[in-house]
Structure 1
Amino acid sequence: MISYCQVSAFTSTPGHGNAAGVVLDGASLSDTQMQGLAARLGVPETVFVVNVDERVARVRYFTPTQEIEFCGHATVALGLVLAQRGLWRDGMVLETLVGPIELDLEREAGAPHRVWMRQRPLEVRTLPSGWRSRLAGALGVSDRLVHRGLPMAVASTGLWSIFVPLLDAFVVDALEPNFAEIESISRELGVTGVHAYAPMSPDSFYTRDFSPLVGIPEDPVTGSSSGALVAMLASAGILPRRGGMARGLCRQGHALGTPGEVIVDIALDGDAVREVRVGGCAVVEHEGRL
């Protein structure tokens, strides 16, 4: 038997945000057992702690169909569980397949409130203009609804995604994606999925994420993609700045009835992104044994 928690991340409301499985005692599990547990839990991602040494925890992430290198919302979920179990250490670091991820804990009235993670440095690859029509078609809209004033690119702060800007939140909400085409595009460009976004205000964006290639037709609320999106927009000079800092808010999950919010803080040196911090709340839904 193995114990697990199911946690909703990027929300303080049970049933909202994005569900993640958290397994703290994964050291004795084989790859096959981890994959089987992730499939049985059936949530978008499950994080397994396979080793803990003082402030460093080595972790692995699995979707229901395969292992992935990193997952933002499962990281936030794990941070909350560690804090609630008294296992949190200041300066906590997760060893992941994309490298070390530093965590911080924000408390409110003495209780764990929000987990912050420092994501990997921003990387961006531009897309040729001819991709606009194909990506719009894969999302089920005309390319006339693609926002010309915002960047369309492939970017990563941990996982590679294609970012497609659309005119407004109503367009994003009405998307009817062709999952087979999105899977084909994702495989062709070596990315996890397609992340559609639209402006709601100068520093907030409405988003949806489609990742059928890794077994997640639509990811409710995505921390890794939110970090890359806000970092890319900050680097492009689109977000308001306060000194060398910029903050963006991503709202996601509304189309699935599971709304959540991701806060992203960016530290800049000129237009170069120096640091990406992604923060979110979380709530434990239930605990069990399999």
Structure 2
Amino acid sequence: MTEILRYAAFTTDPSGGNPAGVVLDASGLDDAAMQTIAIEVGYSETAFVTGESDGVHQVRYFSPKAEVPFCGHATVATAVALAERIGRGELVFSTPAGIVPVAVDDELRATLTSVEPYVERVGDVSEVLDILGWHAEQLDPALPAAIAYAGARHLVVSTATRQRLAELDYDFHRLLAYMLHRDLTTLQLVWRESATTFHVRDPFPVGGVVEDPATGAAAAAFGAYLRELGIVQAPVTLTLHQGYDLGRPSLIQVELRAGDNRIRVSGNAVPITEPG
């Protein structure tokens, strides 16, 4: 029988963070079996370690709807689950998006290093604003909309107020169609509290989930976005708060290093002893 672990990522409290399923031995599972497990687990993603060779772990990620190329919170959860069994230290994951090194320290805090990121400027966002029920005058002009990638594509849209971010109510099916047409994994909705502290929310209809409580892949992409637009300068560490409006507070740290385009995303993960 396949052992399915459950971890909450980007938190030290099992009732917070983003739950992820983890299967450390998926070598005997085909695509259909992995998709079925992801549906049964019911979390936004489940990670499957499909093999290991020369110290490199092959990892795939499935939402309840489909396979995704990369998932940050499930990567953190998988790294911590492995570290608890084989020891802390350096890991290397081979994912559909590329090679992702992950370091786990003595406090079971995992730091992943993203694949090479990119940022695409976006012009007209009136359609997505209409889907969200937002208005152009509510946006933060200092943080213009853009698509950012660090393993998966995310549309960054920023609001000028915390209240606008808190009042999230969107048309699920319209946003799903909008995102599928543009190959987006989530929206990264942002409010800037300070120069290095941000509050974020991530609708995830393409995964069959209204909202993700913590999104490591989007956090990495957001770091690339801030650097590309010159909003922050490396070296810098950013703090992202996510999941508070869902009652699952999450803490994500994003590090930009001088001379290195790749983004580092850090957070804890803890086992969930009871499903749900």
**TM-score, with length taken from structure 2:** 0.95
Q: What's the offset of the Cα at 1:85? A: 1.1
After TM superposition, the runs of 4+ consecutive aligned structure 1 residues lying more than 3 A away are none
Q: What's the offset of the Cα at 1:266? A: 0.7
Q: Any residues of structure 2 matched to 1:123-202 within 5 Å, and which?
A: 123-128=118-123, 130-131=124-125, 133-202=126-195
1:32 alignment partner in structure 2: 32
**Aligned partner of 1:246: which letter?**
V
Contact 1:18/1:220 (CA < 8 Å) preserved in 2? yes
2:12 alignment partner in structure 1: 12
1:246 alignment partner in structure 2: 236
Contact 1:212/1:218 (CA < 8 Å) preserved in 2? yes
SS in 1 for 2:237: strand
The runs of 5 or more residues in structure 1 that have no matched partner are none
2:85 alignment partner in structure 1: 85
Q: What's the offset of the Cα at 1:287? A: 7.2
Aligned residues between the structures: 275
Q: What's the offset of the Cα at 1:222? A: 0.2
Q: Any residues of structure 2 matched to 1:204-283 within 5 Å, and which?
A: 204-239=197-232, 241=233, 244-269=234-259, 274-283=261-270
2:272 alignment partner in structure 1: 285
Q: What's the offset of the Cα at 1:162? A: 0.6
The CA distance in 2 between the partners of 1:144 and 1:135, in whole Å, is 14
SS in 2 for 1:201: coil
Contact 1:61/1:67 (CA < 8 Å) preserved in 2? yes
1:62 alignment partner in structure 2: 62
Per-residue deviation, residues 229-280 of structure 1 (Å, max 9, x unmatched): 12211232222x4xx41111111001111010110001234xxx62210001
Contact 1:21/1:45 (CA < 8 Å) preserved in 2? yes
Per-residue deviation, residues 189-233 of structure 1 (Å, max 9, x unmatched): 121122210101110111110121232221111000011112211
**Aligned partner of 1:14: which letter?**
P
The CA distance in 2 between the partners of 1:14 and 1:143, in whole Å, is 38
Contact 1:5/1:287 (CA < 8 Å) preserved in 2? no
* Structure 1 residues 181 and 251, CA gap change in structure 2 (3 angstroms): same
**Aligned partner of 1:93: which letter?**
V
Identity %: 31
SS in 2 for 1:266: strand
The CA distance in 1 between the partners of 2:169 and 2:80, in whole Å, is 34
Contact 1:38/1:46 (CA < 8 Å) preserved in 2? yes
Q: What's the offset of the Cα at 1:52? A: 1.4
**Aligned partner of 2:67: which letter?**
E
SS in 2 for 1:225: helix
The CA distance in 2 between the partners of 1:205 and 1:198, in whole Å, is 6
* Structure 1 residues 276 and 258, CA gap change in structure 2 (3 angstroms): same
1:99 alignment partner in structure 2: 98
**Aligned partner of 2:135: which letter?**
S
The CA distance in 2 between the partners of 1:42 and 1:36, in whole Å, is 10
Select the residue among 99, 114, 118 that pairs with 1:119: 114
Contact 1:248/1:263 (CA < 8 Å) preserved in 2? yes
**Aligned partner of 2:41: which letter?**
L
The CA distance in 2 between the partners of 1:250 and 1:268, in whole Å, is 20
The CA distance in 1 between the partners of 2:116 and 2:238, in whole Å, is 17
C-alpha RMSD of matched pairs (Å): 1.5
The CA distance in 2 between the partners of 1:35 and 1:274, in whole Å, is 33
Contact 1:47/1:62 (CA < 8 Å) preserved in 2? yes
Q: What's the offset of the Cα at 1:87? A: 5.1
**Aligned partner of 2:179: which letter?**
S
SS in 2 for 1:64: coil
Per-residue deviation, residues 124-158 of structure 1 (Å, max 9, x unmatched): 11111x22x22222212222111111121011000
* Structure 1 residues 179 and 126, CA gap change in structure 2 (3 angstroms): same
**Aligned partner of 1:64: which letter?**
P
